[in-house]
Structure 1
Amino acid sequence: MERIELTTPDGATLAARLFRPVAPGRGTRAAVVIGPAMGVRQDYYQEFAAWLAEQGFLVATFDYRGVGDSRPERWRRSLRGFEADLYDWACDYDTVVADVARRAGDAPLYLIGHSLGAQLPGMLTQRERIGGLLSVAAGSGYWRDNAPRLRRAVLLFWHLVVPVATRLCGYFPGRRLRKIGDIPEGVMLQWRRWCLHPRYHVGAEGEVLRRAFEQARFPVVAWSITDDELMTERGTRVLVDLYSAAPRRIERIAPADVAARRIGHFGFFREQFRATLWARAAELFQRFPPHGLETT
């Protein structure tokens, strides 16, 4: 694993990690960029990324600006005044994809998007270089598309906790509140606006973003986890259908399918799924683009 720094077109510095293929004699099978979930540091994906490298993939993980290792030293104590929104985070994603595409040469490049990491690829300018997206535990963030038991708490979160805490601190103090981690003010308030709109980001941002998603042509396979405590199957379908011109498919995965008691919103990336879900993901990449993939 190699730690690298990348500079975005607008001058932000990103911390990323590169996992080079280590399978002897195979060369690079493909390149994979792992798009993180909201507030989740790239450390969480390290074991999975290292395993993919063992299978012959060139893999990159990264932190969005203001998060994890991409949080500048001067902002370590507080993100008050740190400027970023979700368009900036899409720019960060783009920067990593462009760098990995350059390193990969002619090898295909795929994305694994975890939650938010599958919501942003339609906003990327590097769409033509993407050979496919595996969406894991992702869907529309609209509050009515959350799991039923969360909806009342989510409304309280968006209408009270987020606006009050963000106004008081100048950023969302997630570490203190034990909710999703510290998030820049611009990101959090924009995400709030998305989550309160029935069509999520495409509805909140309007026609330009809707057209951007319609221009995506890379195939999308979405793994909807039956015991996901945050995301419903309906929410996954709403997100996947935003990629309206792309071949796309939703696959429901239950813990019993992989002899597990639980998977949940975060479980895919745990090492216990090395021989099951991880292996299935690696196999899927070998089948992209999925010719004849039916729209569902």
Structure 2
Amino acid sequence: MNTTIDIHSHKEHLININIYEGKLHESVLVICSATGVKQTYYKKIAKYFQGYGITVITFDYEGIGNSLKKNIKHSETTLTDWGKNDLEAVLEYSEKKFPNYNLIILGHSIGGQLIGLAKKALLANKIILICSQSGYWGHWEGIGKLKMWLNWNFLFPFLINLFGYMPSKKISNMENLPKKVAIEWKEWCNSKNYLLDHLDSERLFFDRINCELISYSVDDDQYAPKKAVDWLISKYSNTIKTQIHIMPRDFNVKSIGHFGLFHEKFKDTFWHNLKNEVIK
């Protein structure tokens, strides 16, 4: 059974969620999206897991996809809100709806960062990170470092000031970002300690999460170099960690990148392995 509903966050944002209810395993997998990526991007993998009896919840952060309830220029949400309010509300809903289920949280890209902002993440039985990293430009090398620095110090400020939000659709396949989300992201990515330079330690839960953690990085991922991935993993200091670095040749493909592991062509390889981790 599939259900789509809106739930309220602590700031009274309406967060749209989709529930793909499985009937075989008492586990619920909550998928935390990448920045500017709608939950529909994860629909195929969610239905794949559902087909094996695993319940999956996807959601859109406020200001994205079906959680964009007004003109994006009027959205006051922040990146911090996405973790402390939106993800927190989804985890609270999951706890009430499936009280006796094991909780597995899957974070893609920034989704893996926001897990550390949600207090309810302390309930996780397992965390799976896919291409999750620090966004600080100093973790890149060569021309990639220059591109990231220019992105945060010229492109983002210029476009945000020009449009009143970040018009990502004009320059990429990402969704547009609310102004305060884009500004906060820019600030984090210009800081050596990323979000840790901007948020009080009392508001963070990275080092208080105590469960198994599996992190996947991809060798040809231009948005999450291994150095940036390693930085984030180190902040989950009380987890039992497994780090897996994937080469495209491992799956007999030429490239994977930052988003490729969610493509259906990996259902018999990566998805299969991931499914086994979820039900282990």
Asked if these proteins are the same fold (TM beyond 0.5), I'd say yes
Counterpart secondary structure, 2:74: coil
Q: Distance in 2 between matches of 1:257 and 1:29?
A: 31
Structure 1 position 147, deviation (Å): 5.6
Q: Aligned partners of 1:128 and 1:266: how far apart in 2?
A: 27
Give aligned pairs, total: 278
Of the three residues 235, 252, 257, the one matched with 1:259 is 252
Distance in 1 between the 2:279 and 2:172 partners?
Answer: 39
> How well do the aligned residues superpose, as a CA RMSD in angstroms?
1.5
> Kindly tell me: are residues 92 and 147 of structure 1, through their superposed partners in 2, closer, same or farther at Cα, counting changes over 3 Å?
farther
Q: 1:230 to 1:147 in 2, by over 3 A?
A: farther
Q: 1:272 to 1:113 in 2, by over 3 A?
A: same
Contact 2:122 2:208 in 1 (8 A): no
Question: What does residue 7 of structure 2 align with?
Answer: 6
* 8 Å Cα contact 1:147/1:230 also seen in 2: no
Q: Is residue 137 of structure 1 aligned with residue 134 of structure 2?
A: no
Q: Deviations over 1:85-138 (max 9, x none)?
A: 112101101111111222222120101100001011111110232111110011
1:57 aligns with 2:54: yes
- Pair 165,265 (structure 1): closer, same or farther in 2 beyond 3 Å: same
Instruction: Give the corresponding residue for 1:114.
Output: 108
Are the equivalent residues in 2 in contact too, given 1:20–1:59 (CA < 8 A)? yes
2:5, 2:17 within 8 Å by CA — same for their partners in 1? yes
Residues 168, 18 of structure 1: CA spacing in aligned structure 2 closer, same or farther, 3 A cutoff?
same
Q: Which of 212, 217, 220 is the matching residue for 1:224? A: 217
Give 1:241's match in structure 2, choosing from 234, 239, 248: 234
Asked whether the 8 Å contact 1:214–1:243 carries over to 2, the reply is yes
Say which is worse superposed, 259-268 or 185-194, in terms of deviation: 259-268
The one-letter amino acid paired with 1:30 is S
Whole-angstrom CA distance in 2 between matches of 1:229 and 1:176: 20
Identity of aligned residues (%): 25
Per-residue CA deviations over 1:228-256 (Å, capped at 9, x if unaligned) read 12111111110000111222221111122
- Which letter does structure 1 place at the counterpart of 2:28? A
Match runs of 1:131-280 below 5 Å = 131-146=125-140, 148-178=142-172, 180-209=174-203, 212-280=205-273
SS in 1 for 2:177: strand
Q: Contact 1:41 / 1:68 at 8 angstroms: preserved in 2?
A: yes
Unaligned runs of 5+ in 1: 288-296
1:240-283 C-alpha deviation (Å, 9 max, x unpaired): 00111222221111122122222111011100011111111111
d(CA) in 2 for partners of 1:180, 1:147: 24
Give the letter for the 1:190 counterpart: E
Amino acid at match of 1:257: D
1:56 is paired with a residue of what secondary structure? Answer: coil
- Residue by residue over 1:6-49, the C-alpha shift from the partner in whole angstroms, topping out at 9 and shown as x without a partner, is 11122110111110115xxxx33410000000000111000000
For the 8 Å contact 2:7–2:16, the answer to whether it is kept is yes
Give runs of ≥4 in structure 1 deviating > 3 Å: 146-149, 206-209
Within a 5 Å distance, the mapping from 1:63-142 to structure 2 comes to: 63-72=60-69, 74-75=70-71, 79-90=72-83, 91-142=85-136
Structure 2 length-normalised TM: 0.94
Q: Distance in 1 between matches of 2:104 and 2:268?
A: 20
Alpha-carbon distance in 1 for matches of 2:143, 2:93: 41
CA contact (8 A) 1:3 1:17 kept: yes
Partners of 1:35 and 1:255 in 2: how far apart? 24
